[in-house]
Amino acid sequence: MKANVEQLKGKLVVSCQALPHEPLHSSFIMGRMALAAKEGGAVGIRANTKEDIKEIQSQVDLPIIGIVKRDYDDSKVYITPTMKEIDELMEVKPEIIAVDATGALRPGNVTLDEFFAQIKEKYPDQLLMADCSTVEEAIHADELGFDFIGTTMVGYTEQSKGDKIEANDFEILRKITAQVKNRVIAEGNINTPEKAKRVIELGAFSVVVGSIITRPQLITKAFAEALG
């Protein structure tokens, strides 16, 4: 049975991801990380790869935002870049699938519009989240028909270089929520409980928090650097 995405409203989604070069890289560990997140009050999980998602589903009954991170030589897009990754995710059927929705061409020079049409043709009922880096990209993704608009890529693309989601009291988020009709999920550098609370106050449907909860090496680094 599908978990209910409506329970994400006004609440916390925890991103449980560890890439191959990271110490916690393991589906078993990500499953337990998701369980710990649920015990702490998270109502949803964002996860990478069908293997991790399958393990997480065995541990928690929370809605999952699924992605596959994969690099291709002919594209900068690495978050669910092609139909291959969509098909993999559909084997485990996360409630929401997130894809890079920036202006960059996908592998094989496929545009976002073409890719969105391909997904909708094959999986018409699947909920989709657009990982955007600018207000313009968010508006475009909204017009295309993405169910959720995310701020995931703010500051991570050439066109958003130097931008920070939290700048000027989350000005980018406020502009996006004012101009799109679909639900906005705040994600990216939301690294304090206060920021998480603020984005919900500003109209975000939900908030995704990752590294500051689930990447102990980065949390440790912040403490170690503070001590010089």
Q: Is the pLDDT of residue 7 over 60?
A: yes
Contact 195, 173 (CB under 8 A): no
Q: What is the DSSP string of 60-116?
A: ----EEEE-B--BTTBS--BS-SHHHHHHHHTT--SEEEEE-SSSPBGGGB-HHHHH
Contact 27, 58 (CB under 8 A): no
11 SS3 class: coil
Percent above pLDDT 90 for the chain:
99
Q: Is the pLDDT of residue 2 over 80?
A: no
Would you say domain 5-226 falls under CATH 3.20.20.70? Answer: yes
Contacts of residue 135, defined as CB under 8 A and 6 or more positions apart, other chains included, come to: 172, 175, 176, 179
The average pLDDT across 113-118 equals 98
Tens digit of each residue's pLDDT (9 = 90 or more) over 118-146: 999 999 999 999 999 999 999 999 999 99
The average pLDDT across 205-222 equals 97
User: For position 188, what pLDDT does the model report?
Assistant: 96
Contact 70, 101 (CB under 8 A): no
- Provide the pLDDT confidence category of residue 3 given band limits of 50, 70 and 90: confident
**Cα(184)–Cα(17) distance, rounded to whole angstroms?**
21
Q: What is the identity of the amino acid at 192? A: T
Q: What does the domain layout of the chain look like in residue ranges?
A: 5-226
Tens digit of each residue's pLDDT (9 = 90 or more) over 22-35: 999 999 999 999 99
Structure tokens at 129: 């989240």
Contact 60, 3 (CB under 8 A): no
User: For position 1, what pLDDT does the model report?
Assistant: 54
The average pLDDT across 56-70 equals 98
